[in-house]
Structure 1
Amino acid sequence: LMGTGERPPVRPGMPSGARMPHQGAPMGPPGPPYGGSPAVRPGLPSPVMEPSRKRPVPSQQVQQQQQQQQQQQQHAKRRKMADKILPQRIRELVPESQAYMDLLAFERKLDQTIMRKRVDIQEALKRPMKQKRKLRLYISNTFNPARPDADDSDGSIASWELRVEGKLLEDPGKQKKKFSSFFKSLVIELDKDLYGPDNHLVEWHRTPTTQETDGFQVKRPGDVSVRCTLLLMLDYQPPQFKLDLRLARLLGIHTQTRSCIIQALWQYVKTNKLQDSHDKEYINCDKYFQQIFDCPRLKFSEIPQRLTNLLLPPDPIVINHVISVDPNDQKKTACYDIDVEVEDPLKSQMSSFLLSTANQQEIASLDNKIHETIESINQLKIQRDFMLSFSRDPKGYIQDWLKSQSRDLKLMTDVVGNPEEERRAAFYHEPWSQEAVSRYFYCKIQQRRQELEQALAVRNT
């Protein structure tokens, strides 16, 4: 006889609710695995027990159960790699399954390689990816002589038109950038003596709302050849700076980005061993550094601030051109090649690869199919073991199975007592039965008394 605070004995080494193995095969009937509706032994009532016969569940245990349920739900949402692995016993039964395990190992290596490449691509996208290209610049002009018989005023006055256009020297068919997208500003300076101080400059400057264009054109009245100067400022991304002459000679850099300039300075410091041996934060300036930074010693963290006065805007591209109005002059178009930096086309492909989710959905669908197939195989293995054990010893297997089901039922319903003893008459002739009857009637009387008192209280009010 077990007391109300005791739990039924569990075989050492077996988890709660586990079935007793028989001849190397797990116990259980064919069909859904254990955890659904429990099998009930013939003669036993439904597993719905009175609350008085169940053990009270402490609040701490309730919280633990809730946490376990949440964890199980999370694990159900994201199945792990281990769910795809076939058990060793199934692999022994089906030697051909080794091919599946080889594919699984190959998939794991492939996933690791793809993940590593994704990380490399993410790091590469953080750095500017540029390509050197040639931008061919076309400067042409046309002359429109005066026509006395013209009706409009424009045709009666001689004029010329200057065009500035350009394109990248690349394979046709690729996405082409507008000509103006390569420049930050364009200034055309005409002869001041011919057009005066207020009308001799034609300027274009980039603004946040600028509309890109394929070229620029300037039209002015005139019937004589004009000398002009074109000042083109490239739009560097990231911004580049021209170095102070002394610093440029020291580093061998004329125009570069701020990060490249600082990197070149650090390389110079390491090459000439200017870093302080005791305090690594400081740099001992040599004679060239002293001339440039005007101090014998400085912190490396101060260099970006000190560079501000040593970095100048880059020089513009200067082109001198003659606008000819001579009709016999055949050379009215000039071509110039300019080195520009453009975005690496591979960058857009890398970005689209990182943002692509179509393949991920297909892979997730295939993974779900694999999980379902593995679960089906495991279920078939349980059914096979059940039938195989039953065929070897039907009587012994049924007896062991009934014992296992009885234990499982008792653990699932958390019932106190032994149903096998309780179904015999001798069990109720024990000394405790008299006390149990007295307690039962006492509880019933108290319950009826409370109901009667409540009824009288309601009637009196």
Structure 2
Amino acid sequence: MSTVGTLSPSGCFFDNSYVRTYCREFVKIRELVPESQAYMDLLAFEQKLDATITRKKLDIQESLKRPQKVKKRLRIYISHTFIAGKEPEKEGEEGSVPMWELRVEGRLIEDQVNGSTAASGHSTPAPAARPLPKKKFSSFFKSLVIELDKDIYGPDNHLVEWHRTPTTNETDGFQVKRPGDRPVKCTILLLLDYQPMKFKLHPRLAKVLGIAAETRPKIIEALWQYIKTHKLQDPVDHDTVNNDTFLEQVFSCKRMRFMEIPQRLHQLLQQPDPLLFLTPRSSFTPPYVEVEDPLKQHMAAFVHAQANTQDIANLDQKIYDVVDQINEWKTRRDFYVRFADHPHEFIKKWLVSQSQDLKVQFIFSNGSNQFYAIVRFADYDRSNW
């Protein structure tokens, strides 16, 4: 004898935009329609798939709450142009003095590669999400200082400075123009704009923790890992740290409380060193900069995708209608099968059921007293003739 199974519409699925839930109606049709097992297998697979997608979306939502940065190299171009002076050709005309122009520009190496690929005609398929806007060169820096030869331009005119302000307009490069017709040595200082802010560690602390520059939370986390690894937490007073030889040299104390660590660290953190470029110079190593992870936008698009929501809802409704129709057909079939197998018993039970339904309906509409009064009159018809 085959095992009796159940058939139902789609399983329950949940995401941030909608909830679709079906009332499960159990129908014993597997022994009548063996092909229904394929639907049951698809239903079980759909439930697993929905659970996997929901779990993955929750994981992505948690990861989107944290800042996601990737490191890329920034190619910096330093170039100069000389503009020769012009002598007046006629009396009364004004000539021009010779001038030079220094330009500091740059772009991400990956952008440069992509640009070269597009120029060569070998394009890659466009991603589904909208591409991130290209960052301008100045957006990577907090300040720029160009120091010219003091002997040539004097102590009051040898510095060119740019500092970021809340109203700064980003630019793809910096340029400086000065009069002159001879080589000029200059020093270029570029201070990266870290988001979140990074700090340079004191040399001793950097040697202990193994990091040269990092954000304040990461530095505190690294220090706590060092304390935990070397078991420096006091076994009795858990709020106290027993410094080893290296930490004692860094903090100049043998014991310190956890609440004192942020204040003591503040004295050991400095602004990161700027990027230093000397001209003329043939080459230098491109620095690393942190940019938004391009996958973050694709992840957000996946979490909030609503493109197929209506189509899925329509298909689910069709499935539910078909299953509901199957349930109705199964109920009708069972009715006629019982009547065909045992007509007498079926009619008897059916009349009893109908009588019970009429009784409930009459009591609900007219009250129980009137019902029992009618029953007493009916007893006369059941008496012997």
Alpha carbons of 1:205 and 1:365: their partners in 2 closer, same or farther (altered >3 Å)?
A: farther
Question: Structure 2 CA distance, aligned partners of 1:406 and 1:166?
Answer: 89
Query: In the alignment, what sits opposite 2:7?
Result: none
- Given candidates 422, 431, 434, the residue that maps to 2:374 is 422
Query: In the alignment, what sits opposite 1:218?
Result: 176
RMSD: 3.0
Stretches of 4+ moved more than 4 A in 1?
Answer: 150-155, 333-336, 423-427
Alignment-mate amino acid for residue 305 of structure 1: Q
Once the two structures are TM-superposed, the CA of residue 105 in structure 1 deviates from its matched residue by: 0.7
Question: Structure 2 CA distance, aligned partners of 1:187 and 1:263?
Answer: 34
Alpha carbons of 1:131 and 1:155: their partners in 2 closer, same or farther (altered >3 Å)?
A: farther
- Given candidates 34, 43, 47, the residue that maps to 1:108 is 47
Once the two structures are TM-superposed, the CA of residue 79 in structure 1 deviates from its matched residue by: 5.8
Alpha carbons of 1:388 and 1:417: their partners in 2 closer, same or farther (altered >3 Å)?
A: farther
Question: Structure 1 CA distance, aligned partners of 2:94 and 2:220?
Answer: 56
Question: Structure 1 CA distance, aligned partners of 2:285 and 2:94?
Answer: 32
* Segment of structure 1 superposing worse, 195-204 or 140-149: 195-204
Q: Is contact 2:85–2:98 with CA below 8 Å preserved after alignment? A: yes
Query: In the alignment, what sits opposite 2:114?
Result: 172
- Given candidates 75, 78, 102, the residue that maps to 1:162 is 102
Alpha carbons of 1:309 and 1:129: their partners in 2 closer, same or farther (altered >3 Å)?
A: same
Query: In the alignment, what sits opposite 2:294?
Result: 345
Once the two structures are TM-superposed, the CA of residue 426 in structure 1 deviates from its matched residue by: 8.3
Once the two structures are TM-superposed, the CA of residue 350 in structure 1 deviates from its matched residue by: 0.9
Alignment-mate amino acid for residue 298 of structure 2: Q
What secondary structure sits across from 1:219 in the alignment?
A: strand
Query: In the alignment, what sits opposite 1:275?
Result: 233
* Greater RCO, 1 or 2 (C-alpha within 8 Å, sep 6+): 1
Q: Is contact 1:189–1:202 with CA below 8 Å preserved after alignment? A: yes
Once the two structures are TM-superposed, the CA of residue 228 in structure 1 deviates from its matched residue by: 0.8
Question: Structure 2 CA distance, aligned partners of 1:360 and 1:246?
Answer: 58
Once the two structures are TM-superposed, the CA of residue 389 in structure 1 deviates from its matched residue by: 3.5
2:306 equivalent to 1:357: yes
Alignment-mate amino acid for residue 239 of structure 2: E
Once the two structures are TM-superposed, the CA of residue 420 in structure 1 deviates from its matched residue by: 6.4
Query: In the alignment, what sits opposite 1:372?
Result: 321
Percent identity of the aligned residues? 54
Once the two structures are TM-superposed, the CA of residue 391 in structure 1 deviates from its matched residue by: 4.2
What secondary structure sits across from 1:358 in the alignment?
A: coil
What secondary structure sits across from 1:226 in the alignment?
A: coil
- Given candidates 138, 141, 148, the residue that maps to 2:80 is 141
* Segment of structure 1 superposing worse, 255-264 or 118-127: 118-127
Question: Structure 2 CA distance, aligned partners of 1:207 and 1:364?
Answer: 50
Alpha carbons of 1:153 and 1:132: their partners in 2 closer, same or farther (altered >3 Å)?
A: farther
Query: In the alignment, what sits opposite 1:185?
Result: 143
Deviation digits for residues 225-276 of structure 1, max 9, x if unmatched?
Answer: 1111100011112211001122112222211121221122112112221011
Deviation digits for residues 318-375 of structure 1, max 9, x if unmatched?
Answer: 11114xxxxxxxx9x8665222222221111111111222234433333333223322
Once the two structures are TM-superposed, the CA of residue 86 in structure 1 deviates from its matched residue by: 4.2
Question: Structure 1 CA distance, aligned partners of 2:168 and 2:151?
Answer: 32
Report the TM-score when normalising by structure 1.
0.67
2:351 equivalent to 1:399: yes
* Segment of structure 1 superposing worse, 223-232 or 361-370: 361-370
* Segment of structure 1 superposing worse, 239-248 or 137-146: 239-248
Alpha carbons of 1:414 and 1:222: their partners in 2 closer, same or farther (altered >3 Å)?
A: farther
Larger Rg: 1
Deviation digits for residues 270-316 of structure 1, max 9, x if unmatched?
Answer: 22210111233321122332332233322334322321121111000
Query: In the alignment, what sits opposite 1:300?
Result: 258
What secondary structure sits across from 1:337 in the alignment?
A: coil
Question: Structure 1 CA distance, aligned partners of 2:25 and 2:376?
Answer: 49
Question: Structure 2 CA distance, aligned partners of 1:158 and 1:140?
Answer: 17
Question: Structure 1 CA distance, aligned partners of 2:244 and 2:369?
Answer: 93
Query: In the alignment, what sits opposite 2:249?
Result: 291
Alpha carbons of 1:91 and 1:153: their partners in 2 closer, same or farther (altered >3 Å)?
A: farther
Alignment-mate amino acid for residue 381 of structure 1: K
Question: Structure 1 CA distance, aligned partners of 2:305 and 2:94?
Answer: 57
